[in-house]
Amino acid sequence: MDRSDFCPFLYRFSLFYKRGCLFINIPLIAFILQGIPELIAVVTLAFVIVRIPLNWKRIVVIGSVIALISYTVRLFPIPFGVHTILQVVLLFLILTWFGKGDFSLSIIASLLSFLSLGIMEYFCLSLLMPVFGVNPEELFSNLLLRIIITEPQVLLMFAFAYMFNKFTKRRGNYNEFF
């Protein structure tokens, strides 16, 4: 008798336990079509918040590297969620490096970017799953459907970063907001 007998819900969602740690099996195609664009969008928003000029080559490289590190970390037997903490810390360090050492703004930008991703992910999944008539079990078992339903959140992140960038350029200094 293995753990899937005790927790069939987790087994069906490609979630599994190994040495007491929860894992989610992410296919490589999902990583390429979902994970990398998602992190590029997060990095873009963080750059806009910190007011680092948007150099797309740099943003794509940083987002891809953070996504690759996160994907690799998820392969090890460590508790689920550690990869997210690592993503926040890596983004903070990168923002501090490129943002000329503004620690407080870098940590705020890092946390707000991932919070924005979580909020947009929640709303997109809440709205699109009923539209497509999909339950969570089907979503995790159908790779193509999972990629299609989660792409709008990435587009929303880019749109939000673009609008925020336009707003901050027009309004000026952050001190004027608060």
The pLDDT value recorded for residue 93 is: 95
Quick check: is 41 in a domain? yes
The total number of structural domains that make up the chain: 1
pLDDT at 137: 86
d(CA 153, CA 122): 9
Read off the pLDDT of each residue in 162-167 and give the average, rounded to a whole number.
Answer: 93
C-alpha 14/C-alpha 74 separation (Å) is 13
Q: Look at residue 38 and tell me if it is in a domain.
A: yes
Check residues 23 and 136 and name the one with the higher pLDDT: 136
pLDDT band at 159 (very low <50, low <70, confident <90, very high): very high
Question: For residue 79, what is the DSSP state?
Answer: -
Residue 81 DSSP code: T
pLDDT confidence of residue 79: 81
Task: Report phi then psi at 24, rounded to 5.
Answer: -120, 125
Domain that holds residue 117: 15-165
The answer to the question of residue 58 being in a domain is yes
Per the domain annotation, does 119 fall within a domain? Answer: yes
34: Cβ contacts below 8 Å, ≥ 6 apart:
146, 147, 150, 151, 154
Residue 176, domain member (yes or no): no
The winner for highest mean pLDDT among 9-13, 22-26, 29-33, 64-68 is 64-68
- pLDDT at position 12 is 35
Q: How many CB atoms lie within 10 A of CB 129?
A: 16
Q: Is this prediction's pTM over 0.85?
A: no
Which among 43, 18, 160 has a CA at the least distance from the CA of 95? 43
In this structure, of 6-15, 78-87, 118-127, the range with the lowest mean pLDDT score is 6-15
Q: Is pLDDT of 30 > 80? A: yes
Question: Quick check: is 171 in a domain?
Answer: no
Is 33 part of any domain? yes
Instruction: Compare 123 and 168 and report the one with higher pLDDT.
Output: 123
Whether residue 21 is contained in a domain is answered as yes
pLDDT at 112: 96
Q: Answer yes or no: are the C-beta atoms of 70 and 86 closer than 8 Å.
A: yes
